[in-house]
Each structure stands twice: as structure tokens, then as C-alpha cells.
């Protein structure tokens, strides 16, 4: 039985993470941080952000953005170590640490979005 390599899947997740990060992270930072700081937009309040994050599509978007950005970073870091520093003998360990870190960060983002958003603040 021939084993299918996972490399094409990782490259597609890498490119999707890079594209989503490049398109949406600057826009989110501008709308939520820079524009309110410069007085161009009103700063969103806690109630507004909580109501926005209670929508399932907003949560799905943020989960996809966080997870794919972490996979992009893990893949880039893996190939920096593998090709740039020539540590090919530690390939399995680097894979586990990079992609395991991306998986752990994705699970952490999901946990925060589904537990912290639902809690009311005093």
C-alpha cells in the first residue's frame, strides 16, 4: 500500500494562512486599534465586541484566521530550521514541535473564543 505524503496539504494550509494573515490582520488592527487611537473611528466597547463574537460566523472566521496563521508560522519556521540551519537530522522533532505548537495554539484560540466570550464581565 502506497502512503500519500502530507506535504501538499501542509503547503496549501501554509499558503491559506499567509493569504488570510496578509489580508485580514492589518484590517483588523486598523479598525480595532489604529483608527480609534487616532480618533477616526469610535472605540468599540466590551458589549459591542462581545455581541460581535457571539455570532457563529465571527467565531469561525477568527478560529480559521488564528489556526491558519499559526500553521503558516509553523511551516515557515520549520523550513527555516530545516533548510536555513541545515538541521535535517532533527526533522521529526522539529515537525512535532512546530506543528504541535500550531495545533496547541489553535486549540487555545478555540477554548478562549468559546469560554471567555460567553462570560459576563463585572
Q: Which residue has the cell 460567553?
A: 118
What is the residue-averaged pLDDT of the chain? 88
What CATH number corresponds to the domain at position 42?
Answer: 1.20.1300.10
Burial of 68 (0-12, 13-18, 19+ CB in 10 A): buried
Give the structural domain span for 20.
9-115
Q: Is residue 2 part of a domain?
A: no
Average pLDDT rounded to a whole number, residues 67-90: 87
Average pLDDT rounded to a whole number, residues 67-95: 87
> How far is Cα 82 from Cα 7, in angstroms, rounded to an integer?
14
Q: Is residue 47 part of a domain?
A: yes
What pLDDT, on the 0 to 100 scale, is given for residue 59? 92
What pLDDT, on the 0 to 100 scale, is given for residue 23? 96
Instruction: Output the pTM of the full model.
Output: 0.82
* Best mean pLDDT range from 10-14, 48-52, 62-66: 62-66
Is residue 87 very low, low, confident or very high in pLDDT (cuts 50, 70, 90)? confident
Q: Is residue 120 part of a domain?
A: no
Model confidence over 37-60: pLDDT tens digits?
999 999 998 888 888 888 899 999
Q: Is residue 89 part of a domain?
A: yes
Q: Is residue 122 part of a domain?
A: no
Q: Is residue 72 part of a domain?
A: yes
Question: What is the number of structural domains in the chain?
Answer: 1
Amino acid at each position: 500500500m502506497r502512503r500519500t505524503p502530507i506535504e501538499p496539504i501542509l503547503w496549501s494550509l501554509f499558503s491559506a494562512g499567509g493569504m488570510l494573515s496578509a489580508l485580514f490582520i492589518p484590517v483588523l488592527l486598523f479598525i480595532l486599534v489604529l483608527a480609534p487611537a487616532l480618533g477616526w473611528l469610535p472605540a468599540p466597547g466590551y458589549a459591542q465586541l462581545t455581541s460581535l463574537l457571539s455570532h457563529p460566523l465571527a467565531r469561525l472566521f477568527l478560529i480559521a484566521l488564528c489556526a491558519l496563521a499559526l500553521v503558516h508560522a509553523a511551516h515557515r519556521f520549520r523550513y527555516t530550521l530545516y533548510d536555513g540551519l541545515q538541521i535535517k537530522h532533527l526533522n521529526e522533532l522539529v515537525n512535532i514541535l512546530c506543528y504541535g505548537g500550531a495545533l496547541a495554539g489553535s486549540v487555545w484560540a478555540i477554548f478562549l473564543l468559546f469560554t471567555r466570550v460567553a462570560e459576563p464581565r463585572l
